[in-house]
Structure 1
Amino acid sequence: MQDLWLGARLLLLLAVANITPIAAKNLLGARWAWPLDGGICLPDGRPLLGPSKTVRGVVVAVGACMLCALLMGLPVEVGALAGAGAMAGDALSSFIKRRLAIEPSGQAFGLDQIPESLLGLLAVRFALDVPLLQVAAITIAFALLEIPLARLAHRLGLRDRPY
């Protein structure tokens, strides 16, 4: 039962990391939306990450995860690691999507969910002694839940697109 409770809290941290950059964009518009990649384009002519990955997004995701961890009785450092790991995974998926010529905010099931959740979970794995099997289970749960939750967020006006 304890593993289930920990898994639910980690899943919530991943969801917080996923939605807070979008909420910040909705609240702040272009304010403080500096591109994480500095606008760099690679020799293939495509951006390193793209305009939707911002410094503001990383900062709010990490900060929100720290607060969320604290509220759930987890160490604040765990929230910071989960948020930073999730944002690193999100940046990695954006990098791969740009190389595959998928437009910014374009959908790629699996690629949109797995790096974000997996890197976020691996970042906290040793701090919380999370078994690899549980990491895999939470990663799968995040991948399966992210699509319906993104559609709900779209209906509520939190997301521009339903994915």
Structure 2
Amino acid sequence: MLIAALLIGIVYYLPALAANGSAPFVKNGTPIDFRKKLNDGRRILGDGKTFEGLLLAVTFGTTVGAIISRFLGNEWIFIAFFESLAAMIGDMIGAFIKRRLGMERGQRAPLLDQLDFFVFSTLALVLMHVKIQIVQILFIGILVIFLHLFTNYVAFRLKIKSVPW
């Protein structure tokens, strides 16, 4: 029973995972912050957050939702769209926080780097009344930390990312 619940939890988060994992494939896009700086002299988000990356991420996440909808119902297309969008908003908020802390793009921020998108995708799932259990959230949160470290290392080795974290 627990294993089934954990597997369903993975399915619930697949759109956010697909969205978060697809954005780095965009190189040299149009920065969402239009290279603007705040009063502190630092960029709002940085070059790593682009309109093209956002569009690709939400498209990938929604496509995963369309596949899931064949098994869990058509509402999963809608859920996946908002879950993916929320994941990317969380990722942008993480970048915003890093810039305010004086951290450069690619600089390591343990837990913030791994969990920013996860927290916001969880919020989206809860707001859309997806019946997600605490054990699923905790399991996926821990899984996300390890998946993020592993996939970023692989992306680094494949020269998709410039740093292994």
Give the TM-score category using the shorter length. 0.7 to 0.9
Deviant stretches of 4+, over 3 Å: none
Distance in 2 (alpha carbons) for counterparts of 1:3 and 1:78? 19
Counterpart contact for 1:81–1:123, Cα < 8 Å: yes
TM-score, structure 1 length as denominator?
A: 0.86
Instruction: Give the deviation of 1:3 after TM superposition.
Output: 2.1
Please provide the CA RMSD for this pair: 1.7
The 5 Å alignment of 1:69-80 reads 69-73=65-69, 74=72, 75-80=76-81
User: What is aligned with 1:36?
Assistant: 32
Counterpart contact for 1:114–1:139, Cα < 8 Å: yes
User: What is aligned with 1:136?
Assistant: 138
**TM-superposition CA deviations, 1:16-60 (whole Å, max 9, x none):** 1122111232xxxx3xx2211222211110011111111111111
User: What is aligned with 1:102?
Assistant: 103
Structure 2: 5+ residue stretches without partners: none
Is the counterpart of residue 88 in structure 1 residue 67 in structure 2?
no
> What amino acid maps onto 2:93 in structure 1?
L
Distance in 1 (alpha carbons) for counterparts of 2:151 and 2:46? 24
User: What is aligned with 1:50?
Assistant: 46
Instruction: Give the deviation of 1:101 after TM superposition.
Output: 0.9
Instruction: Give the deviation of 1:133 after TM superposition.
Output: 4.1
Distance in 2 (alpha carbons) for counterparts of 1:107 and 1:64? 26
User: What is aligned with 2:5?
Assistant: 3
> What amino acid maps onto 1:89 in structure 2?
G
Query: In the superposition, relative to structure 1, how do residues 132 and 122 fare at CA in structure 2: closer, same or farther (>3 Å)?
Result: farther
Distance in 2 (alpha carbons) for counterparts of 1:128 and 1:150? 29
Structure 1: 5+ residue stretches without partners: none
Identity among equivalent pairs (%): 29
Is the counterpart of residue 120 in structure 1 residue 144 in structure 2?
no
Query: In the superposition, relative to structure 1, how do residues 145 and 39 fare at CA in structure 2: closer, same or farther (>3 Å)?
Result: same
Is the counterpart of residue 147 in structure 1 residue 143 in structure 2?
no
Counterpart contact for 1:78–1:127, Cα < 8 Å: no
Distance in 1 (alpha carbons) for counterparts of 2:20 and 2:106? 13
Counterpart contact for 1:10–1:121, Cα < 8 Å: no
Counterpart contact for 1:118–1:135, Cα < 8 Å: no
Counterpart contact for 2:18–2:60, Cα < 8 Å: yes
User: What is aligned with 1:22?
Assistant: 24
**Per the alignment, in what secondary structure is the counterpart of residue 21 of structure 1?**
helix
Distance in 2 (alpha carbons) for counterparts of 1:41 and 1:136? 36
Distance in 2 (alpha carbons) for counterparts of 1:107 and 1:35? 21
> What amino acid maps onto 2:116 in structure 1?
P
